[in-house]
Amino acid sequence: MKKAYRASLLRFDDAGQPVFDTDGLLVVAPDAQGRERVVDAGSHGAVQPRHPDVAPEHLPGRILAPGFVDMHIHFPQTDIIGAPADGLLPWLENYTFPAETRFAEPAHSAEVAEVFLDELLRHGVTTSLTFATSHPASVDALFAAAQRRQMRLITGKVLQDRHSPDGVRDETERSLADTEDLIRRWHGVDRLGYAITPRFAPTSTEAQLRGAGELAARHADTWIQSHVAENKDEVKWARELFPASRSYLGVYDDFGLMRERAVYAHCIHFDDEDRQLMRATRTAAAVSPTSNLFLGSGFFDFEGAQRVDYLHGLASDVGGGTSFSPFHTMLAAYYVGREGQTKPGLSLAPSRLWWLHTAGAAQALGLTGTIGNLQPGCEADFLVLDPSATPLLARKSANAASLEELLFALIVLGDDRVIERTVIARAG
């Protein structure tokens, strides 16, 4: 059944520029498969006459906006958010691997999957590219929970067959067979997608990386996700383990793990050759600023990414990241962009930050026109935002003289209180 919502409406055009209708109308209807999609969007005055058959739900003072897309997050790290450590490698050893060990138990995986998806939706995140653990049961649990909620979600079994403790370390042949089995069972089912997931080069043997690359070639529309160039100790370690590769990023290229739909978290300690390689292979960076600030990893070079023009978007990286909230991530990205002592500093426009967490993130995932926007044809994952959710935000948004000022007020002062409703595109 066709439905319409009348409120302010935020979308993005093909160039990534914001389109804002103060009195907007969003019209959604099921497609041939029954999935709800946007069929019309724009100013109420222009759109309403085209749909005389529907009575819109009126949402005065609210903003309709695309659901946020989180390009990199770990569902098994939900409970270790905010675990302090002296940088990435001690954090993995002392908190992350012990926590992930528990996901061998299906019941634990299922329980945390529900908590994780509740948190995403509460914070307005409608799609995430998500790490599970090395245990296939963790992948089954998350896919099953997302499927019940009809969410678009991408995840995969972590591949880590060395330099990892008992309990999370897997075995090369078995890990690749398990991956292919999970691809067959889940990839493309309803709104679910599979990501081939080597944790990072230091915890995989050459044989495992080679096998992952072969799977990525054989299943060309799957995603690939990993980590790269996050922390200087990690970079040094990767360079020692793979001396034949030109750089840490080059390891992934050497094993066939850079292509469209490949997404690497962090991408901080890069040179321009790395950036050119990202561009040439249409590989995307998942920029995770709260995590990078929390773990003291470094500052992503937004100027370098824009100059070389390679795909990138925003991510929480929970549990290294400190918040599920896209508002917190966008604000941290602004801080990181401003930092001008270790790399060029710049001021990311509020609409640019927002794009990097919606339509830009969708583009980086190869999902333009499917999610991350409210243009006709997009799946109807959207948010109802309340720009007066707190007293100070209400003052700031009432006094905003432009769209950029309004978006910046939400980014600086907003959190889950702004998310009044998260709507998932349903089927039937």
The count of residues in the chain is 428
Min dist. Cβ of residue 370 to ligand GUN (A): 27
- Pick between residue 40 and residue 317 the one whose CB is nearest to Fe ion: 317
Distances in Å between the Cα of 362 and the Cα atoms of 17, 129, 197, 307, 392 are: 15, 10, 19, 20, 31
- Quick one: what does residue 252 bind among Fe ion, ligand GUN, none, with the CB cut-off 5 to 8 Å set by partner type? none
Min dist. Cβ of residue 106 to ligand GUN (A): 21
Q: By Cβ distance, which residue is nearest to ligand GUN?
A: 320
- Sheet containing 419-423: order of strands: 36-43, 18-30, 3-12, 57-66, 382-385, 419-423
- Distance, in Å, from the CA atom of 185 to the CA atom of 179, rounded to the nearest integer, reads 10
Q: Which of 8, 48, 96, 397 binds ligand GUN (CB under 6 A)?
A: 96
**Residue 36 found at the interface with Fe ion (CB under 5 A):** no
Q: In the structure encoding, which two tokens stand for residue 22, read together?
A: 């103060």
| Conformational region of residue 283, where left means phi above 0, alpha means psi within -120 to 50, and beta covers everything else | beta
Min dist. Cβ of residue 293 to Fe ion (A): 14
- Pick between residue 215 and residue 265 the one whose CB is nearest to Fe ion: 265
What string marks each residue from 312 to 351 as x (binds Fe ion by CB under 5 A) or -?
-----x----------------------------------
Q: Which of residues 256-275 bind Fe ion (CB under 5 A)?
A: 265
- Quick one: what does residue 103 bind among ligand GUN, Fe ion, none, with the CB cut-off 5 to 8 Å set by partner type? none
**Is 300 in contact with 289 (CB distance < 8 Å)?**
yes
**Residue 406 found at the interface with Fe ion (CB under 5 A):** no
**Residue 3 found at the interface with ligand GUN (CB under 6 A):** no
Give the closest residue to 246 by CA, choosing from 262, 258, 231, 263.
258
- Quick one: what does residue 313 bind among ligand GUN, Fe ion, none, with the CB cut-off 5 to 8 Å set by partner type? none
Question: In which residue are the tokens 């138990």 written?
Answer: 105
- Pick between residue 3 and residue 72 the one whose CB is nearest to ligand GUN: 72
Inter-residue long-range contacts of 276-284, CB under 8 Å, 24+ positions, other chains counted: 276/308, 277/249, 277/250, 277/253, 278/249, 278/308, 278/310, 278/311, 279/308, 279/309, 279/310, 281/253, 282/311, 283/258, 283/259, 283/310, 283/311, 284/71, 284/310, 284/311, 284/312, 284/313, 284/364, 284/365
Mark the segment that binds ligand GUN (CB under 6 A) among 88-96, 148-156, 362-370, 387-395.
88-96
Q: Please tell me the number of Cα atoms within 13 Å of 246 on its side-chain side.
A: 12
- Pick between residue 68 and residue 200 the one whose CB is nearest to ligand GUN: 200
**Residue 135 found at the interface with ligand GUN (CB under 6 A):** no
Min dist. Cβ of residue 114 to Fe ion (A): 21
What string marks each residue from 22 to 61 as x (binds ligand GUN by CB under 6 A) or -?
----------------------------------------
**Residue 227 found at the interface with ligand GUN (CB under 6 A):** yes
Phi, psi of 293 (to 5 degrees): -75, -40
Taking CA 195 as the corner, what is the angle to CA 236 and CA 14, rounded to the nearest 5 degrees?
Answer: 100
Min dist. Cβ of residue 8 to ligand GUN (A): 36
Torsion of CA 95, 97, 98, 104, to 10 degrees: 140
- Distance, in Å, from the CA atom of 221 to the CA atom of 366, rounded to the nearest integer, reads 10
Question: In which residue are the tokens 């999609």 written?
Answer: 37
**Residue 301 found at the interface with Fe ion (CB under 5 A):** no
- Quick one: what does residue 247 bind among ligand GUN, Fe ion, none, with the CB cut-off 5 to 8 Å set by partner type? none
**Residue 294 found at the interface with ligand GUN (CB under 6 A):** no
What string marks each residue from 168 to 207 as x (binds Fe ion by CB under 5 A) or -?
----------------------------------------
- Distance, in Å, from the CA atom of 285 to the CA atom of 97, rounded to the nearest integer, reads 24
**Residue 291 found at the interface with ligand GUN (CB under 6 A):** yes
Residues that bind ligand GUN (CB under 6 A): 74, 88, 92, 96, 199-200, 227, 230, 291, 317, 320
Residues that bind Fe ion (CB under 5 A): 265, 317
